[in-house]
Amino acid sequence: MSSVPYDFSNQNATLVHICCSVDSHHFLTSLQKLYPHKHFCGFFYNPNIHPYEEYQLRLEDVQRSCKILGIPLIVGEYDDKEWLQNAKGLENAPEKGERCSFCFDFRLNKTAQIAKKTHCTEFTTTLLASPMKLQSELFAQGEVIAKSWNLDFLPLDVRSKGGTKVQNELARSAKLYRQNYCGCLFALKAQRDKSQKNALELLSSLNAPQGIRNLPALRFHNFQTRTRLEQADQPYQILKRKVLHYQLLKGKLTCQNQTIPSFICDYSLLSKPTKAKVEFWHNGIGYANKEGILLLLFESFKDLLKISDFSTLLRQGLCEEIQLLLRHKIYPYGFFTSPLLIIEQPIFNDFTLEISHTMQEEILEDFLPL
């Protein structure tokens, strides 16, 4: 952040560090009611959030929330490398432990610095609204950091006396993005391990289009629907969809010791590397003798794929809607999970296929126009 766009020299202003929209919407609303004569400015600074697509989604949601509330917003740098460097040695610290204390200090010190630059007289943080944080610790750390910068820290308890319930109601009514982990990759992995799930947020699928190759990127893509609906003044509802989410991690087709370029479709299940051969070709499909493996010739299916050439398919990937349509076209009588590969030229010799994937239930947001 090379420059700060606001100067509150002649105003009674408070800089509010913002961690996410769910916490900030309630927190800022409470501040506006409690201190009607104060000026408030938001500061989004969260280099702990990982991956970057998750950061983008939370930032966009905070920008939307601040616009609704009429709060100006300063966006800090995403200096995740510096955050990770300073977090070394704390990777395995428990939630609400030493790593979280470091993370609070890291973000609040930057907040105090920006408060000085904008001539705010005090600062506070929406982390105080999070049930995942120790409020007493935040009060104490905020006071210490404020004194070191010759500023005041504004402590505010918005959790007690039913505050958390109000916060959730506000988040629903404002149709905010409700993230399911704090932000950093260490806490995320620990949380997923505890629930015996893979941290799909940290994995990218090889066959998906560039913009939706990991779970946060897919969520960010889905939330663009909300933006379009709101820009068109179209009423809508947010729906939660339970999805069996597939991610291709590795795939390799070899024939006569040569790797054959191929596109492996979603929901191709193979428990171990398998040696097989094509028994016959029919209408652009090669039928193998093991695991129900099918090899599809690109030229025979390019109209359905809506892609002009094979190299573009390999480079850009294919959206899941078309991949599922392709599976349904080939076999419409059940959820078809045989390995399904798209290749450019037919092969007639023995081949070996290896597929590594991960698949688990996830909750994804959908938007229903009314």
**CA atoms of 170 and 25, how far apart (whole Å):** 7
Answer yes or no: are the C-beta atoms of 287 and 280 closer than 8 Å: yes
Q: Is 319 labelled a binding residue?
A: no
- Edge-first strand order for the sheet with 278-282 is 263-264, 340-343, 294-297, 285-288, 278-282
Q: What gap in Å lies between CA 364 and CA 216, rounded to an integer? A: 10
What sections of the chain are H helices per DSSP?
Answer: 21-34, 52-69, 80-86, 98-117, 135-148, 163-173, 185-194, 215-231, 298-305, 310-316, 320-330
Q: Which residues pair with 183 in a beta bridge?
A: none
* Strand-strand pairing, 294-297 and 340-343: parallel
Cα-based distances in Å from 253 to 15, 99, 264, 286: 56, 44, 9, 14
Annotation-wise, does 100 bind a ligand? yes
d(C-alpha 106, C-alpha 98), whole Å:
12
Residue 41 assigned ligand-binding role: no
| β 236-255/351-369 pair status | antiparallel
Residue 19 marked as a ligand binder: yes
Residue 131 per-residue DSSP state: T
Residue 51, preceding bond cis, omega within 30 degrees? yes
The answer to whether 202 and 181 are in contact (CB under 8 A) is no
**Residue 363: strand, helix, or coil:** strand
User: Among the residues of 134-238, which ranges form H helices?
Assistant: 135-148, 163-173, 185-194, 215-231
13: Cα within 13 Å, side-chain hemisphere:
23
Separation of alpha carbons 175 and 18, rounded Å: 18
> What's the CA gap between 278 and 254, in Å, rounded?
13
User: Which residue positions form the known binding site for [4Fe-4S] cluster?
Assistant: 19-20, 100, 103
Binding residues: 19-20, 100, 103
